[in-house]
Amino acid sequence: MKLSRDILIKSFLSVFAAIILVVGFAYAVWTEPTANPPNDNVEAPINIGTTTQYKSGALGIGGALRGYSNAIF
């Protein structure tokens, strides 16, 4: 009884320590974006603005609409 309890406690502590390490590493490497979109980090969404916009590659919408390649409307 005592042996299985000790194994259970050691297993729990090992898993808990691994979770703490993973969360710590994830928190340590997180960097915030350098600016709000679209100012330095990403392109503007295709639905912003009044000028004609082009997207490189095909445009798919929920599997029901594809444009530019394999045109299904």
Q: pLDDT tens across 17-70, in order?
A: 999 999 999 999 988 877 776 677 666 666 766 777 676 776 666 666 555 555
* Structure confidence at residue 30 (pLDDT): 86
Q: pLDDT tens across 14-28, in order?
A: 999 999 999 999 999
* Structure confidence at residue 36 (pLDDT): 75
Whether residue 41 contacts residue 34, with contact meaning beta carbons closer than 8 Å, is answered with yes
Q: Domain for residue 55, yes or no?
A: no
The total number of structural domains that make up the chain: 1
Write down the residue that tokens 């599997």 correspond to: 63
What's the rounded Cα separation, in Å, for the pair 45 and 4? 57
Q: Domain for residue 41, yes or no?
A: yes
Q: Domain for residue 37, yes or no?
A: yes
Q: Domain for residue 38, yes or no?
A: yes
For the entire predicted model, the pTM comes to 0.45
Range of the domain at 18: 2-49
What's the rounded Cα separation, in Å, for the pair 38 and 12? 45
Question: What are the DSSP E strand ranges found in the chain?
Answer: 59-61, 65-67
* Structure confidence at residue 10 (pLDDT): 94
- Structural tokens at position 57: 């590659």
What's the rounded Cα separation, in Å, for the pair 4 and 11? 10
Q: Domain for residue 70, yes or no?
A: no
